[in-house]
Amino acid sequence: MGSYDATSPPPATAGPPGKQSEPPPKHNVNSSPVVAVVGLRMFLFTTALVAIIVMVTSKQTKLIPVAPGVAIPLSAKLNYVPSLIYLVTALSVACLYSIVSSVISVLALMKPGGSSTKLQLHFVMIDALLLGILASATGAAIGVAYVGFKGNSHTRWNKVCNTYDSFCLRSAVSLILSLVSSITLLLLVWISIHMLYKKTTRR
């Protein structure tokens, strides 16, 4: 009779024929930053859209006296200020871009490997370009708005916000929202660069 070794491991049990053990599912480690990016892009869409609506609806008409007992209606509106037209154009581009980039980011999040390095690099370049455009438009509009609020005694430009108070208030709200949109784009650039750095150092 053969001797039995108690220390030998038990024989492996054969599983069902044709079936192999499946590896554990891989989790997307980059899902959290991508979710944050999608949230920031939706926030960018909201702030840019509200800024456009507030600026476009800021028209105000007042009766301005031009002679004793004579007053004519004069309007203050977006079309009279080129820097505000530039700002609304930049906000419109940012609003449209935020929708497209949000959809692409969500589709990339649904993929097993997450967003590719090439896609993130494209996002960084477009976000940085749009940040420069929107920041310059906001700065130009703020310069004109400051003259409207304070005037300029050296060039004898009188302030107009004491007359067109509603127009100036709406313009100020739109400028604040535009500044928030610029900061949001800056955060998007930082996050995208951080994600690219983590990908390159992991290789």
**For 84-116, what is each residue's pLDDT tens digit?**
999 999 999 999 999 999 888 888 777 765 567
Average pLDDT, the chain: 81
Average pLDDT over residues 27-46: 78
Where does 59-164 have alpha helices with state H? 82-110, 117-150
| pLDDT at residue 203, as a whole number | 60
**What gap in Å lies between CA 160 and CA 197, rounded to an integer?**
49
Q: At what angle do helices 31-56 and 165-202 cross, to 10 degrees?
A: 160
pLDDT at 28: 47
**What pTM value is reported for the model?**
0.77
The pLDDT of residue 115 is 62
- Contact criterion met (CB below 8 Å) for 198 and 54: no
Cα 84 to Cα 86: distance, rounded to the nearest angstrom: 5
Of all residues in the chain, the percent with pLDDT exceeding 70 is: 81
Grade residue 44 by pLDDT with cuts at 50, 70 and 90.
Answer: very high
Radius of gyration of the chain measured on its C-alpha atoms: 29
